[in-house]
Amino acid sequence: MFKYSELFKKKQKGAVVVLVAILLIVFLGMAALAIDVYHLFVVRNELQNAADAAALAGARELYLDDGSAINPNANTIAYNTALQNLSEKIAVEVNDYSSNSGDVQRGHWSFSAERFDANDSLSAIAIGNYTTEDLDNPDPSINGGFINAVKVVVRRQDKPAASFLPRFLALKISA
């Protein structure tokens, strides 16, 4: 006659192999998801770096050398700088830089309101006639139309970021 414990042990033989196989698939899926999330953060940071570099290049050239007027080429400089940046070794996309209403815009950044307002003006103002608070005010009637910033939006719509998880899930196990 068999004891219950011996019978129970025989039925459990090989259960660890099944459990390890199932957990291996789960852990591989979690690892693929973690890699994808990390990769998307890297791509987002590369796009942010491209936008920042372009905005800084445009802002650097925002005023003509003598300070008498806004440089109409600031948008073009920002656009060209953005195109020189890569995300995942693919050029970033920037639309309409010439109209000051597209992805590259000149305008006013208010530090207190944390807001950007586009401004098409090419006229420089004498900032000595305004207080610091007036210049920071987002209202052009108060700040005199002060232009102090370049805004750049970059994207990758034609070639989105690569993803590893769908390829992992698409693997077919053949026997």
Q: Helix (H, G, I), strand (E, B), or coil: what is residue 95?
A: coil
Q: Which two tokens stand for residue 34?
A: 């973690």
Q: Is 81 exposed, middle or buried (0-12, 13-18, 19+ CB in 10 A)?
A: buried
Residue 150, strand partner residues: 106
pLDDT in tens, 92-118: 999 988 888 899 999 999 999 999 999
For the chain, the structural domain boundaries read 9-156
pLDDT in tens, 140-170: 999 999 999 999 999 998 888 888 776 656 5
Q: CA–CA separation, 46 vs 87, rounded Å?
A: 5
* CB half-sphere exposure, 175, CA atoms < 13 A: 0
Give the C-alpha distances (Å, rounded to integers) separating 48 from 115, 138, 151, 155. 18, 24, 12, 9
pLDDT in tens, 36-95: 889 999 999 999 999 999 999 999 999 998 888 999 999 999 999 999 999 989 999 999
DSSP codes of every residue in 130-150 = S-HHHHH-S-HHHHTT---EE
DSSP state, residue 162: P
User: For the residues 16-33, what does the mean pLDDT come to?
Assistant: 88
